[in-house]
């Protein structure tokens, strides 16, 4: 049977996603971040803002704001959790798959929300490199 | 405390309905086509159900075809009439704000060579009867317009539109998808002059899997499905008798104190709207105010935040609501209804629909009104967008 | 004393099934597409039902499409596959003894330009696999054969026929209408090699209005109905969740002691056949004897008298049976199945079908055996035809 | 809606029909009838045999045998009841509508069964006329 006729799992969240939606981590504004990046567009349904505080090339804190769905919020929580305490190089190596795997998977239709958080992180790291003059490894 | 405020999607089945169904599952369980007593009892029961349902919409019992729901009723109405009348013309008129169960069928008919016009609506969801007049041609075989919009509650002026259609051509059929309006606003097929009308049991505390299509006597229509014919060639298969009997019981319960039910829903509606507008800033009402809005529907956007997040937060407090296009969350596109009335996408994304029935309790509304402001505030705090700047 | 011996037409709903349905009507009544808790509970429930039903036929959960019954499942299977594969060929093979829910769809497809071959059967209702082989062409896209005949209980050798079909062309789809055979004979879609298989809940003490179509992964099929899509695009409309959950519960109950159930039915069958042949002269058995007959079916003609009169006389004693073509009494033609096995019309008119399940009690059989000889004798006395001369 | 799509009453019997099926009148063979007629064909699903005893141009007794459905048996009962005690002329004037009206109507699909009893009566009366040399009025 063609996949398009069994759409039952296209929208379901894993327990992990729902847990991170209900009790998000690292949510909120950050005062004096080293770098801030915004991605997305409210017209398209979501917008994501990431704050990083980087000291000695290490991400000592990460926070985010989200105008988005549960997938967006959960991915933001997971992404910031995964990079906190890591070096900028390590954070640059983080893949989208690592994030979604850590979430126990995302419904196919919600993948673009995960990508948004990831893109914002990439943008923030690039900005940091540009600012600090360092190139990515 | 719980608050089920998504009755527009589906409702719980009334215990008396369950009781009635049980009778036709455990006792009078016969197949209605057979001549032994169990069969004739089943057939007689279906006849009674037909009468109850026909009566509720002003039709005749023999004009009722039982279906598995409004989706199927709409499909039979639209394709059944289109196929049977294709030699008279291939033009159909509907609106941009119909339920997907109408729109998807229209799109299918377009693929099969029919021409469909999707009428625009104004900012409150009303069809301008003049736009119907403009689109009518000698080729127009069918017009399909829902009497109540399921998302924003707009009560369409069906009677006036029917008059325009029938004055232009007596033989242009008129279909009404009344799934969202049934038992919420008065319906009289004679008075309205409609030829076909779809209703669904599970929106009125009847069972899922039961619905009906009213088909005016003499309407040219043909089946869209084939197979074993029990009581109706327009809808093959063994009848879901418990479903039909449960449906009829739900209709009795819904229409028994119809005026009181409406008054109750109007009271809930006023309380909810007042509460939201008093307690929460930066909200946008979708659909009309007052008499022309279904008494069972309230729909607001909460600026700066996204609907799914609101929905899931409310769910954490036992409150069930719908967001965006209640029927097409899968598409991740802003609701087609909100788009059609000109709501900007970023506002549409924060739309929450609250729907209730005559059985909804005031304390459910109050619970929602207690929780909602906190949820909105929390989500706004973590949003990068400022509601006052939208 | 009553005896319900028309379980092939429909069955009463098991009280545990009713109990299960009540849960999904009054408590977990949510719409499965929505993300709040009530919705996800409903969706999870449907997933569980899918597993139970898939397991009972050896399929995978995602290969189950819920329908309103076997009639709809057959229609989706036949027209869905025909439409999706019409570019590969327009030839379909079925048999003369299929249920009307298959035959009417085939006739419809003929009108739409498909060519359908209706295979003959022998005097016991068996298809000769060679006749299938002879009819297969490069244009053959679909073969549909029921595994058990609903009128005369013939258990078809589906496996062998599938092998012939697939050897000739891997891409010719094989559909089995298993409405009459489900829970009566073992079914394993993997072992049988079939691509599509239809079942119905109300024949196994589940609710009316619920059925399922098994569709093997990768099968090219398209919808035949359109509208609001909830969980499955192949079958639009809000799912009948209580029906689906009741169906799954009925499947559990039917398959829990499957072997014991078969043994029980075999015992009832032997008792009824022995009793009829011992007590009543001039009877003719329709369908095979022994292993190759469904354990749930007995069908005899009583020469010299007419079936409807027997049916109504038995009904006066609380006994429900079917006559002639149980599914086409409306046509007043002798059963197409009895005609196909070569029964003369005057004999076919006196055919009575007794069908039971694992829940039928021995005393019901005994009651029938007590009443039947008197009824036959009475009716023969007032018939102008002598049975011994037929 | 075209009639063919609402077939619910095509097969239902009235209480009167069922009553006459359950307790048929004038059923059975007659010894020494004045005239006997048979109509129908078991191959077509029904066969009807009528016995009349006619004395002084008056039908003093009528009986029938039926290989047929409930409609057939009920119509046989009603037809024989309606003509008993009537003159041959009166019986000849009996219409099919009078019979079915007396039955409270018959399902559309079962009309031909009623016609069969009626035809058998006509045949019996013709035979009687032929036998007794008298022509119908
Ligand atoms: C306006 C409207 N039409 C049709 C439907 C579909 O009805 P059903 O669920 O009975 O198929 C719905 C509900 O989903 C609806 O709200
Ligand atoms: C063999 C067979 N197929 C199909 C059907 C139709 O199934 P349903 O009543 O679920 O539509 C029946 C029963 O009526 C049947 O016996």
Of the candidates D112, D73, D79, D100, which has an alpha carbon nearest to the alpha carbon of residue C382?
A: D73
Q: Tell me which residue range forms the domain holding C171.
A: 15-255
Closest CA to C201 of C357, C58, C75: C357
Residues of chain D in contact with residue C385, where contact means CB-CB under 8 angstroms, are 42, 47, 67
pLDDT of residue A44: 74
List the catalytic residue out of C183, C327, C338, C348.
C327
Q: How far is CA A129 from CA A82, A118, A126, A132, C342, in A?
A: 19, 17, 5, 5, 88
C237 lines ligand 1 (CB under 6 A): yes
Q: Which domains does chain A have, with CATH numbers?
A: 23-129 (3.90.1010.10)
For A94-134, where are the alpha helices, taking DSSP H only?
96-102, 111-132
Contact (CB, 8 A) for A66 and A42: no
Whether the per-residue pLDDT at A41 is higher than 50: the answer is yes
- B255, B283, B301: which is the final residue of a domain? B255
* Section B329-345 average pLDDT: 83
Ligand closest to C11 (CA) is 2
pLDDT at B332: 62
Chain A contact set for B390 (CB, 8 A): 42
Is the pLDDT at B199 greater than 70? The verdict is yes
If you average pLDDT over residues A85-112, what whole number do you get? 91
Nearest to C387 by CA among C307, C312, C305, C277: C305
Q: Give me the residues of chain C with pLDDT under 50, please.
A: 325-328
CB C45 within 8 A of CB C240: no
Distance CA D73, CA D64 (A): 9
Percent of chain C with pLDDT over 90: 92
Residue B390 falls within a domain, yes or no?
A: no
Q: With contact defined as beta carbons under 8 Å apart, do B320 and B3 qualify? A: yes
- The answer on B295 and B193 residing in a single domain is no
Q: Is the CB of C230 under 6 A from ligand 2?
A: no
Q: How many helices (H) does chain C have, and how many strands (E)?
A: 13, 13
Active site residue C327: yes
| Over residues D37-41, mean pLDDT | 92
Q: Per-residue pLDDT averaged across D60-71, rounded? A: 92
Q: Tell me how far apart the alpha carbons of residues C28 and C244 are, in angstroms, rounded to a whole number.
A: 13
Domain count, chain C: 2
Q: What is the pLDDT of residue C226?
A: 97
Query: Among C151, C166, C102, C82, which residue's Cα sits nearest to residue C301?
Result: C151
Round to whole Å and give the CA distance between B42 and B28: 6
Domain finish residue from B192, B220, B255: B255
Q: Are strands B115-119 and B91-95 parallel, antiparallel or unpaired?
A: parallel
More confident residue, A111 or B357: B357
A 10 A CB-CB count for C312 gives 21
Best probe residue, ligand 1, of B71, B102, B144, B208 (max atoms within 8 Å of C-beta):
B71
For CA atoms C176, C178, C325, B66, give the dihedral sign: negative
CATH number of the domain encompassing residue C342: 3.90.1150.10
In which band, very low, low, confident or very high, does the pLDDT at A106 lie, cut at 50, 70 and 90? Answer: confident
Per-residue confidence (pLDDT) for residue D6, from 0 to 100: 46
| C181 domain-assigned | yes
- In whole angstroms, give the CA distance from residue C318 to residue C8: 17
Q: What is the pLDDT of residue B123?
A: 98
CATH number of the domain at C120, please. 3.40.640.10
Find, among B112, B193, B124, the residue nearest to B152 by Cα: B124
Which residue, judged by its Cα, is nearest atom 14 of ligand 1? B9
Among C305, C304, C269, C275, residue whose Cα is nearest residue C287 = C269
Q: Which of C306, C316, C344 sits opposite D68 (nearest CB)?
A: C306
Cβ C17 vs Cβ C249: under 8 Å: yes
Q: How confident is the model at residue A2 (pLDDT cuts 50, 70, 90)?
A: very low
The model's confidence at residue A6, banded by pLDDT at 50, 70 and 90, is very low
Q: Are residues C81 and C223 in the same domain?
A: yes
d(CA D48, CA D41): 8
- Calculate the alpha carbon distances from C164 to B126, B339, C59, C92, C130 in Å: 61, 55, 22, 15, 9
The verdict on B235 and B320 lying in the same domain is no
Same domain, C74 and C104: yes
Question: Could you tell me which chain A residue has the CA closest to the CA of B386?
Answer: A67
Reduced 3-state DSSP string for C230-296: CCCCCCCCCCCHHHHHHHHHHHHHHHCCHHHHHHHHHHHHHHHHHHHHHHCCCEEECCCCHHHECCC
Whole-number percent of chain B with pLDDT over 90:
92
| Distance from C-alpha of B111 to C-alpha of D124, rounded to nearest angstrom | 64
Same domain, B363 and B246: no
Measured between CB atoms, which of A2, A7, A70 is closest to C231? A7
Which ligand lies nearest to the CA atom of residue C211 in the structure?
Answer: 2
To test ligand 1's pocket by mutation, which of B9, B10, B73, B101 has the most ligand atoms within 8 angstroms of CB? B101
Question: Is residue B333 predicted with pLDDT exceeding 80?
Answer: no
Parallel, antiparallel, or unpaired for β C3-4 and B351-355? unpaired
Residue B83 lies in a domain: yes
Q: Is residue C318 located within the same domain as residue C372?
A: yes
Cβ of residue C129 lying under 6 Å from some atom of ligand 2: no
Give the list of residues 6+ apart from residue C366 with CB closer than 8 angstroms, or none.
C271
- Does residue C164 sit within a domain? yes
SS3 B297: strand
Query: Any idea of the CA torsion for B326, B327, B329, B335, to the nearest 10 degrees?
Result: -70
pLDDT at D69: 85
Instruction: Tell me the mean pLDDT in the region B141-168.
Output: 98
Q: Comparing A64-68, A97-101, C273-277, C333-337, which segment has the lowest mean pLDDT?
A: C333-337
The DSSP bridge pattern shows strands A58-67 and A46-55 to be antiparallel
**Same domain? B56 vs B165:** yes
d(CA D127, CA D121): 10
Q: What is the C-alpha separation between B164 and C376, in angstroms, rounded?
A: 65
For residues A136 and A112, give the distance between their C-alpha atoms in angstroms, rounded to a whole number.
25
Q: What is the pLDDT of residue D109?
A: 76
C103 token code pair: 């035959």
pLDDT at residue B35 in the model: 85
Chain C residues whose CB is inside 8 A of the B9 CB are 31, 34
Backbone angles phi, psi at C361, to 5 degrees: -100, 150
Among all chains, which residue has been given the structure tokens 């035949």? C224
Burial of C286 (0-12, 13-18, 19+ CB in 10 A): buried
Query: D21: which DSSP letter?
Result: H
Q: How many residues does chain C have?
A: 390
Neighbouring chains of A at 3+ CB pairs under 8 Å are: B, C
Residues in chain B: 390
Q: From the list A5, A8, A70, which residue is nearest C234 (CB)?
A: A5
Q: Are residues C225 and C276 in the same domain?
A: no
On the question of pLDDT at D135 being above 70, the answer is no
B355, part of any domain: yes
Confidence check: pLDDT of A1 > 50: no
Residue B377 in tokens: 């505030």
Residues B333 and B184 occupy one common structural domain: no
Other CB atoms within a 10 A radius of the CB of residue C363 amount to: 11
Rounded to two decimals, the pTM is: 0.95
pLDDT > 60? residue D5: no
User: What's the whole-number mean pLDDT along residues A61-81?
Assistant: 93
pLDDT, position C35? 85
ipTM of this predicted complex? 0.93
Q: Which residues of B touch A39 (CB under 8 A)?
A: none
**DSSP 8-class letter at B284:** E
Averaged pLDDT for residues A76-84: 96
Q: Which of B255, B270, B294 is the last residue of a domain?
A: B255
Cβ separation D109–C332 shorter than 8 A: yes
For the cut 80, the answer to whether the pLDDT of residue B212 exceeds it is yes
Question: Please, where are the H alpha helices in B157-306?
Answer: 158-168, 189-192, 241-255, 258-279
- Residue C72 domain-assigned (yes or no): yes
Residue with tokens 């609101």: B310
pLDDT band for B122, please (50, 70, 90 cuts).
Answer: very high
Q: Within this chain, do residues B226 and B267 fall inside the same structural domain, yes or no?
A: no
Summarize pLDDT for B215-257 with one digit per residue, the tens.
999 999 999 999 998 889 999 999 999 999 999 999 999 999 9
Which residue in chain C is spatially nearest to B246 when comparing CA positions?
A: C25
Instruction: Supply the residue whose CA is at minimum distance from atom 12 of ligand 1.
Output: B179
Distances (CA, A) of C389 to A86, B76, C9, C303, C372: 99, 52, 33, 9, 21
Q: What is the mean pLDDT of chain B?
A: 95
Q: Are B321 and B275 in the same domain?
A: yes
Evaluate whether residue C390 is within a structural domain: no
Q: To which H or E segment does residue C102 belong?
A: helix C100-111
- Report CA dihedral (D99, D104, D109, D110) to the nearest 10 degrees: -50
* B234 and B271 together in one domain: no
> What's A61's DSSP letter?
E
Nearest CB to B62: which of D4, D6, D70?
A: D6
Residues of A taking part in catalysis: 44, 113
């Amino acid at each position: 049977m063609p996949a398009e006729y069994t759409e039952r799992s296209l929208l379901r969240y894993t327990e992990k996603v729902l847990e991170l939606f209900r009790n998000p981590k690292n949510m909120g504004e950050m005062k004096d971040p080293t770098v801030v990046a915004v991605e997305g567009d409210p017209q398209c349904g979501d917008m994501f803002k990431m704050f990083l505080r980087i000291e000695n090339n290490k991400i000592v804190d990460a926070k985010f704001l989200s105008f988005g769905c549960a997938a967006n919020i959960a991915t933001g929580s997971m992404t910031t959790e995964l990079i906190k305490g890591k070096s900028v190089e390590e954070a640059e190596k983080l893949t989208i798959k690592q994030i979604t795997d850590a979430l126990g998977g995302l419904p196919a239709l919600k993948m673009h929300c995960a990508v948004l958080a990831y893109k914002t992180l990439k943008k923030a790291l690039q900005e940091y490199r540009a600012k600090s003059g360092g190139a990515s490894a | 405390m719980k608050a089920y405020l998504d009755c527009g999607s589906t409702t719980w089945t009334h215990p008396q309905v369950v009781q009635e169904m049980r009778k036709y599952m455990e006792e009078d369980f016969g197949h209605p086509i057979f001549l032994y007593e169990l069969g004739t009892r089943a057939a007689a029961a279906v006849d009674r159900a037909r009468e109850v349902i026909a009566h509720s919409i002003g039709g005749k019992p023999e004009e009722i075809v039982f279906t598995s729901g409004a989706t199927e009723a709409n499909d039979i109405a639209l394709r059944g009439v289109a196929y049977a009348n294709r030699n008279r013309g291939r033009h159909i008129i509907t609106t941009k704000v119909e339920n997907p169960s109408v729109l998807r069928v229209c799109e299918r008919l377009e693929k099969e060579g029919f021409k469909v016009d999707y009428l625009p609506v104004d900012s409150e969801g009303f069809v301008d009867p003049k736009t119907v007049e403009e689109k009518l041609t000698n080729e127009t075989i069918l017009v399909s317009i829902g009497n109540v919009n399921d998302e924003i509650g707009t009560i369409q002026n069906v009677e006036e539109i029917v008059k325009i259609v029938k004055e232009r051509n007596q033989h242009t059929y008129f279909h009404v998808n009344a799934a969202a309006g049934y038992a919420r606003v008065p319906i009289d097929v004679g008075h309205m002059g409609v030829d076909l009308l779809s209703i669904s049991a599970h929106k009125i505390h009847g069972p899922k899997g039961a619905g009906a299509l009213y088909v005016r006597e003499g309407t040219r229509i043909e089946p869209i499905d084939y197979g074993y014919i029990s009581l109706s060639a327009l809808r093959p298969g063994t009848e879901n008798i418990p479903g039909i009997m449960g449906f009829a019981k739900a209709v009795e319960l819904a229409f028994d104190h119809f005026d009181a039910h409406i008054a109750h829903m109007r009271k809930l509606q006023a309380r909810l709207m007042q509460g939201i507008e008093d307690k929460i800033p930066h909200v946008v009402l979708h659909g009309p105010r007052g008499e022309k809005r279904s008494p069972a529907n309230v729909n607001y956007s909460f600026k700066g935040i996204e609907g799914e997040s609101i929905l899931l937060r409310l769910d954490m407090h036992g409150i069930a609501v719908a967001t965006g296009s209640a029927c097409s969350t899968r598409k991740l596109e802003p609701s087609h209804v909100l788009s059609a009335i000109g709501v900007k996408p970023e506002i549409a994304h924060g739309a929450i629909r609250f729907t209730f029935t005559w059985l909804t309790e005031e304390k459910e509304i109050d619970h929602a009104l207690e929780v909602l402001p906190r949820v909105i505030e929390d989500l706004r705090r973590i949003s990068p967008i400022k509601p006052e700047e939208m």
